[in-house]
Amino acid sequence: MYRLHCFCQSGNSYKVAFLLRALGQAYENVFVDFMHGMTRDDGWRARTNEMGEAPVLEDGARRLTQTGVILTHLARKHGAYGGKTLEEEQEILRWLFFDNHKFTSYFATYRFMKAFGPAAPDPAVMAWLKGRIDGAYGIVDRRLAASPFIVGTAPTIADFSLCGYLFYPVEESGYEVQSRFPGITAWLERVQKISGWALPYDILPGERIAPKWT
Amino acid sequence: MYRLHCFCQSGNSYKVAFLLRALGQAYENVFVDFMHGMTRDDGWRARTNEMGEAPVLEDGARRLTQTGVILTHLARKHGAYGGKTLEEEQEILRWLFFDNHKFTSYFATYRFMKAFGPAAPDPAVMAWLKGRIDGAYGIVDRRLAASPFIVGTAPTIADFSLCGYLFYPVEESGYEVQSRFPGITAWLERVQKISGWALPYDILPGERIAPKWT
């Protein structure tokens, strides 16, 4: 059985949990107490992930990290959501990289700093991050105005990847998607119809925390 | 023959150019005038890359974007620098994602804003980015203190990826690597011994620009 090291505030953990559910694979949650510094501990890094990040997926004796690698591994292994040709695989990987760099990363950081950071965030940093988010979301919104899913007419791991932070309550980030990005909004409705879909706080371990700075 | 859409300030372009040289592959440079807004143009985005980024690699009729995808594609196609087993491939991909999110991205942005941005950068944003760079560089430095290359004892595309912005003049970023990260510094010496290595400004097209804000 898979073991998923994860926590409920982590949209990257959610991407993997959602995919495992969609694939009908049983897995066990291993709670990572990120909010109390577990991933900053040298021992945890040495044992679990030198990059200091969750999620981590245990697949038998193997331990996989980086969400993009885990999604690719599961899609290949179970023969679903990974594309049917090399060209499709590469197109999916292209969006995983874009997500990792520009779509998930700036938004996840913005939300974390706004909702859960140790101190109220610097307005200049938040304004800068918001500009980056706007740019990335605009690119994906245009894509989704022309295509039902990120790559083609059926869901792939590119969709699992890009949707990861978009099912959290808007109160956490204060970043409004619905009124500004109709392509993304309509696509999120389609994503919710994928078998196994659920809200992050309903399937991931750890205590829900009220936003601090909003 | 490959056609590489690129420009000389782009360390991501450099990663691909360096790999093509190491593989002994002929290629033609197609200059992308990023510094004068070419990638922000809707026509360029529609024709070349909707993500608005360089590099783009033309391989016959195919057009590949996202540096991580291009590096993976070339390694697989030419049977070099891509790892020998599925486990090695996944370990390399893991570092490509880490690079894309945390190692290249924050530094590339920091350097760009400091050297070439349209206005002097906000000190709060720069301090925030510097903290992120310090964290990512520390992780890679510890890795390279224990391993001659990012994945194992021979170079792979993970090395081509992570080194991409580290051969630019330190005056551009003002970010000092040599005195602070001995593992990275020693590894850069090893990377320079890879066949085909050259400095970015010696092999990429476009006009060199003096740093503005340093």
Q: A9 touching B, CB under 8 A? A: no
* N-terminal to C-terminal alpha carbon distance within chain A: 39
Chain A nearest-CA distance from B41, in A, is: 13
One domain for residues A69 and A93: no
A36 assigned to some structural domain:
yes
- A87 chain-B contacts, CB cut-off 8 A: 62
Please state whether beta strands A27-31 and A56-59 pair in parallel, antiparallel, or not at all (unpaired): unpaired
Contact assessment for residue A14 and residue A200, using Cβ atoms and an 8 Å cutoff: yes
Digit-coded pLDDT (tens) for A64-109: 999 999 999 999 999 999 999 999 999 999 999 999 999 999 999 9
Give per-residue pLDDT as tens, B114-164.
Answer: 999 999 999 999 999 999 999 999 999 999 999 999 999 999 999 999 999
Residue B89 pLDDT more than 80? yes
How much is the pLDDT for B167? 98
> Is the bond preceding residue A182 a cis peptide, omega within 30 degrees?
no
What is the CATH number for A45?
3.40.30.10
Based on the domain organization, do A170 and A92 belong to the same domain?
yes
Tell me the nearest-neighbour CA distance from A90 into chain B, angstroms.
Answer: 7
Contact A66 B125 (CB under 8 A): no
User: Chain A neighbours among B 64-83 (CB < 8 Å)?
Assistant: 64-69, 72-73
In this structure, is residue B60 part of a structural domain? yes
Q: Same domain for A172 and A131?
A: yes
**For residue A187, what are the domain limits?**
86-191
Shortest CA gap B90–chain A (Å)? 7
Hunting for tokens 């083609």 — which residue is that? A152
A94 lies in the same domain as A185: yes
Residue B213 lies in a domain: no
Q: Taking the CA atoms of chain B, what radius of gyration do you get in angstroms?
A: 17
Instruction: Indicate if B46 and B106 belong to the same structural domain.
Output: no
Entry field: residues in chain A: 214
CATH number for the domain spanning A114: value is 1.20.1050.10
CA distances from B12 to A56, B150, B160 (A): 28, 18, 10
Regarding whether B121 and B173 lie in a shared domain, the answer is yes
Distance CA A160, CA A158 (A): 6
- Is residue B102 in some structural domain? yes
Tell which residue, B158, B187, B13, has the closest CA to residue A69: B158
Distance CA B138, CA B93 (A): 20
Amino acid at B58: E
Domain assignment present for residue A212? The answer is: no
- Chain B, nearest residue to A137 by Cα: B51
Q: Across-strand partners of A124?
A: none
pTM above 0.90, yes or no: yes
CA-to-CA distance for A34 and B36, rounded, in angstroms? 43
Residues B60 and B113 grouped into a single domain: no
* Over residues B109-117, mean pLDDT: 97
Taking the C-alpha atoms of residue B96 and residue A5, their distance in angstroms, rounded to an integer, is 21
Are B98 and B179 within one domain? Answer: yes
Closest-CA distance of chain A to residue B75, Å: 13
Nearest to A98 among B51, B72, B125 (CB): B51
Averaged confidence pLDDT in chain B: 97
| Minimum distance, in Å, between the CA of residue B100 and any CA atom of chain A | 6
Q: Do B8 and B33 reside in the same domain of the chain?
A: yes
Instruction: Judge: B93–A51 Cβ closer than 8 Å, yes or no.
Output: no
CA distance B199 to B188: 12
| Rounded alpha-carbon distances, angstroms, from residue A20 to A3, A92, A106, B90 | 11, 18, 25, 19
Cβ–Cβ < 8 Å for B187, B147: no
- pLDDT tens across B13-45, in order? 999 999 999 999 999 999 999 999 999 999 999
Q: Is residue A139 part of a domain?
A: yes
Is B54 contained in some domain? yes
Which residues of A fall within a CB distance of 8 Å from B87? 62
Stretch 20-49 of chain B: residues touching chain A, C-beta under 8 Å: none
Confidence of residue A143 (pLDDT cuts 50, 70, 90): very high
Q: How many CB pairs below 8 A link A and B?
A: 71
Q: Which residues 124-163 of B have a C-beta within 8 angstroms of A?
A: 124-125, 128, 135, 139, 142-143
The Cα A169–Cα A178 span in angstroms is 12
User: Are B197 and B14 within 8 A, CB to CB?
Assistant: no
Distance CA A8, CA A207 (A): 7
Mark whether B175 and B97 lie in a shared domain.
yes
Residue A111's pLDDT is 98
Q: CA–CA separation, A124 vs B141, rounded Å? A: 30
How many domains would you assign to chain A?
Answer: 2
**Rounded Cα–Cα distance for residues B109 and A102 (Å):** 12
- For residues A74 and A90, state if they share a domain: no
In a domain, A209, yes or no: no
Residues A182 and A92 in one domain: yes
